[in-house]
Amino acid sequence: MLKEERLKYIINQINVHNKVLSADLSQQLNVSEDTVRRDLKGLTDSGQVIKVHGGAVSKSFHFPYAARNVYKKEEKKEIARKAIGLIDNGMIIVVGGGTTMIEMARLIPNRLFCTFFTISPIVAVELAEHPNLTVNLIGGKVASDTQICVGAQVVQQLSEIEADLCLMGTNSVSTQKGITDSDWEAVQVKKAMIRSAQDCAILSISEKLDSAQKIKVCNLTELSYLITDLKPTDRRLKKYATQIHIV
């Protein structure tokens, strides 16, 4: 594969999954990790991605307030609108981090009176703009890669919550592997979020469908809803509908 093709592939993977690992890219591209690291350095130097330990993350994930950098922004807004349709007055809701969650926080109508718990400082700030919401930030160590609070303290706090609904993003989703991620600490927090709520909805752009990472969060059958930018009747979602309710 030519360097130009490698760079295009890397950028696409980062845009879709927010974060990539050098070791995974090495296997996928059939090149050495040194080659991948050089590619990531070049993309970082040109301002296209942000290099982190072991890989790289998207600029939109680290700078979510810069609207021009948000990948698939309109699709994420559509997902956010669908997610808001699951929310009723008086609910207790646990939400994760990421650009789709930020879009959802911005679109919540002022008529809703709810209590939110979130592991994302950025999402907490956006939610706090709404006068009728009670917003609680679940605190802990802030991971520089994912910009969410992680660690045993976060897992403990989540274990004390009995929420009506959990709204959570994902790195990858498939019918075979379920919900997967590449970050061990983030996975532990996501598992705790799922346990904390009666129902859980996964929010995912359609490009993440049929993809998998190396660390498992849960099976699809352990969740209540899958929310994508596609219409529920889209043929790409047909096989998912046997395991989870499609929104």
Domains and CATH numbers, the chain: 3-62 (1.10.10.10), 72-246 (3.40.50.10470)
Burial class (CB in 10 A: 0-12, 13-18, 19+), 243: middle
Instruction: Work out the pLDDT band at 64, boundaries 50, 70, 90.
Output: low
Which residue type occupies 223? L
Using alpha carbons only, give the angle 88, 109, 204 rounded to the nearest 5 degrees.
75
Least confident of 30-44, 152-166, 170-184: 30-44
Higher pLDDT, 73 or 90: 90
For residue 116, the model assigns a pLDDT of 98
Average pLDDT rounded to a whole number, residues 9-17: 83
